[in-house]
């Protein structure tokens, strides 16, 4: 065990500084820094690290822990919390956080939070971000106007297309009909 790892374990009471997990803990260097140090590293669990490093691993329920870790007194923990809030589009939480100019520059060093101003984000009924090509399931029976049929709850819609100028609409095929669907009535499938 390195000296820094021991100090991080002391600082965190041997818990992940993001989610509080007590198992499978590792030193995580907060980019762009690559050397272990108290000023630039956190103690994080394997689950948090995997999701930080791989966008496709993100489990929204896991990151509810950010509501507490964002207030951590240690700057590297605040930086990672800010980045994850930015990645998850938790704008309200980002607005609550205060980082001085230097810290904010560090937080944005990986590109999180860039080019999101005015960007339309499509989300399903659970708040999961939707992208072109995703598959969704209807969570409610929907009367399809002009097509004289009802799209049944549980129907899968594959390879959706986002309506570029409306965050509340997607397009897809149901019963061989191309229809527009409101995002509040769909749930993303994995």
pLDDT (tens place) for every residue of the chain, 190 residues total:
899 999 999 999 999 999 999 999 999 999 999 899 999 999 999 999 999 988 777 888 999 999 999 999 999 999 999 999 998 888 889 999 999 999 999 999 887 766 555 567 899 999 999 988 899 999 999 998 887 889 999 999 999 998 877 889 999 999 888 999 999 999 999 7
pLDDT at 165: 78
- φ and ψ at 114, to 5 degrees? -80, 150
Distance between CA atoms of 43 and 49, rounded to whole angstroms? Answer: 10
Supply the pLDDT for residue 96. Answer: 92
Q: pLDDT value at position 114?
A: 64
Query: The pTM is what?
Result: 0.60
Report the pLDDT value the prediction gives residue 146, as an integer from 0 to 100: 80
pLDDT of residue 132: 86
- Length, in residues, of the chain: 190
Q: What is the pLDDT of residue 74?
A: 97
Cα distances (Å, whole numbers) of residue 95 to 17, 40, 91 = 21, 23, 6
Backbone phi, psi, residue 44, to 5°: -135, 155
């Amino acid at each position: 065990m390195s000296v820094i790892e021991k100090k991080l374990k002391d600082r965190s009471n041997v818990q992940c500084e993001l989610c509080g997990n007590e198992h499978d803990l590792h030193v995580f260097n907060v980019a762009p820094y690559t050397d272990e140090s108290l000023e630039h590293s956190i103690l994080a669990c394997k689950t948090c690290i995997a999701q930080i490093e791989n966008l496709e691993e993100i489990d929204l329920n896991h990151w509810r822990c950010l509501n507490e870790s964002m207030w951590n007194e240690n700057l590297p923990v605040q930086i990672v919390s800010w980045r994850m809030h930015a990645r998850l589009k938790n704008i309200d939480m980002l607005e609550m956080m205060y980082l001085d100019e230097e810290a904010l520059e560090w937080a944005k060093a990986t590109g999180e939070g860039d080019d999101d101003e005015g960007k339309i984000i499509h989300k399903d009924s659970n708040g999961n971000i939707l992208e072109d090509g995703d598959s969704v399931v209807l969570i409610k029976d929907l009367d399809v106007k002009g097509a004289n049929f009802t799209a049944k709850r549980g129907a899968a819609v594959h390879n959706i297309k986002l309506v570029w100028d409306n965050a509340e609409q997607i397009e897809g095929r149901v019963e061989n009909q191309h229809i527009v669907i409101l995002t509040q009535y769909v749930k993303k499938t994995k």
